Amino acid sequence: MSNRFKKLNDLLRDEAGKMLKKELEFNGVLVTVVRAVVSPTLEHATIWISVLPESQRETVLQKINQKIYNLQQILNKRLAMRPVPKIRFEIDKTEEKAARIEKLLQKSQNK
């Protein structure tokens, strides 16, 4: 990954985090922007979020998707670049997968 894309991904991750904190209210739920990846054409960006408690994942994602147009408009104003990538949010399942792998490794060591 080029340095330019790394900086752009980091900028988008940081701005998305600030934007979610300011624009949406998640009572009793911790929402963290984990990473952002911009497509090579700069047309699209995927932003991964972590949600605790996990039982609120779908509710949070629905709430974000209901406001996606407004969030995109805010991001368009904040970022000094054109075109601003079209954003979409996904639930980050990295920790979940890591825990599953760790559990499988422990199970195989116990045999």
Single pTM value for the model: 0.84
Query: Which CATH class, in words, describes the domain spanning 3-109?
Result: alpha beta
Mean pLDDT of 72-98: 89
Q: Could you give the CA distance from residue 85 to residue 38 in angstroms, rounded to a whole number?
A: 7
Ranges of H-type helices in the chain: 3-23, 57-66, 68-78, 94-109
**Residue 57: both structure tokens together:** 């994942």
Q: Which residues pair with 52 in a beta bridge?
A: 30
Q: What is the pLDDT of residues 7-23, one digit of tens each?
A: 999 999 999 999 999 99
Q: Where are the domains of the chain?
A: 3-109
pLDDT at site 97: 72
DSSP, collapsed to helix, strand or coil, labels residue 77 as helix
